[in-house]
Amino acid sequence: MGTGLARSLLRAGLAVTAWNRAPGGAAPLTADGATVAPTAAEAVDGADVVPTRLIDGPAVLDVMADAVGAVSPSAVWMQSSAVGLDDSARAADLARSAGTRRGRAGARHQGSG
């Protein structure tokens, strides 16, 4: 889901380190200049901005839980996945636990979880 976002950032001349839950899923981005990390934690390590673009709230929470320990407190975590209100609040709590600033972008449906 984040391939388009990653390619847009690369076209703008920004450095992108990508990771995908599916093994090899981010590999095509190397042709566009991205670095591919083997884990979510390695992808966010040292990043100024950490965009998450995943299928649903549980996926966002799972990835954030794996990566939260590696995120710099000065980073901005940009959660742009469509998630419910409950999962959005949980994601905000995870971002706060890392000391990051959290931004929201994109759609958010009104269902629970």
Instruction: For residue 37, give every residue at least 6 positions away whose Cβ sits within 8 Å of its Cβ, in sequence order, or none.
Output: 17, 18, 19, 26, 43
- What are the residue boundaries of the structural domains of the chain, listed by start? 3-104
**Mean pLDDT, the chain, integer:** 87
Give the architecture (CATH level 2) of 3-104: 3-Layer(aba) Sandwich (3.40)
Residues in the chain: 113
Q: The pTM is what?
A: 0.81
Distance CA 93, CA 113 (A): 14
Task: Tell me the pLDDT band of 108, cut-offs 50, 70 and 90.
Answer: very low
Distance CA 17, CA 96 (A): 22
Task: Tell me the pLDDT band of 94, cut-offs 50, 70 and 90.
Answer: confident
Mean pLDDT of 11-40: 95
Higher pLDDT, 29 or 111: 29
